């Protein structure tokens, strides 16, 4: 009956700008748009819905309650990291290895936490 996550929504003061950021920086494509809402799809089929936000954004910390980051799977960590660096992406730290997996955290143009991950082996 339950299939899985169909999409995750992010509220943004500028949905079109944020959707374009995911297209330009991470290779997503705009899949669908209506009334200022944008669905962007990654190469693997994962989808984000970007909706208009209301009100001011609270300060964001990595361990605050709620959804904390989006993990972007890559096949070539060094190339992906270098491409984002060349585009001026705001990294929150240096790349590191955790349990054989290569990671680096950064923020999108709205300040949402995102990270690249190249896993040594897929999760079970």
Per-residue confidence (pLDDT) for residue 121, from 0 to 100:
93
**Domains in the chain: boundaries:** 1-54, 68-124
Look at residue 109 in the predicted model and tell me its pLDDT.
96
Q: Does domain 1-54 have CATH number 3.10.180.10?
A: yes
CA-based nearest residue to 88, from 14, 12, 25, 19: 25
For residue range 19-52, list pLDDT tens digits in order: 999 999 999 999 999 999 999 999 999 999 999 9
One fold for both 1-54 and 68-124?
A: yes
Rounded-to-5 percentages of helix, strand, coil across the chain: 20, 35, 45
Asked if residue 59 has pLDDT above 90, the reply is no
Per-residue confidence (pLDDT) for residue 119, from 0 to 100: 96
Task: Summarize pLDDT for 62-121 with one digit per residue, the tens.
Answer: 887 888 999 999 999 999 999 999 999 999 999 999 999 999 999 999 999 999 999 999
* CATH code matching the domain that covers 68-124, chosen among 3.10.180.10, 3.40.50.300, 3.30.390.10, 3.30.465.10: 3.10.180.10
Question: How many C-alpha atoms does 66 have within 13 Å on its Cβ side?
Answer: 9
Give the pLDDT confidence score for residue 93 in this predicted structure. Answer: 96
């Amino acid at each position: 009956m339950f299939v899985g996550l169909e999409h995750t929504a992010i509220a943004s003061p500028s949905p079109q700008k944020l959707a374009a950021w995911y297209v330009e920086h991470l290779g997503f494509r705009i899949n669908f748009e209506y009334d200022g809402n944008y669905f962007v799809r990654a190469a693997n089929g994962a989808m984000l819905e970007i909706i208009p936000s209301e009100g001011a954004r609270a300060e964001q910390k990595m361990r605050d309650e709620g959804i904390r980051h989006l993990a972007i799977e890559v096949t070539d960590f060094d190339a992906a990291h270098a491409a984002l660096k060349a585009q001026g992406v705001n990294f929150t730290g240096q790349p590191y290895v955790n349990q054989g997996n290569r990671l680096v955290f950064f923020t999108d143009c709205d300040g949402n936490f995102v990270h690249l991950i190249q896993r040594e082996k897929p999760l079970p």
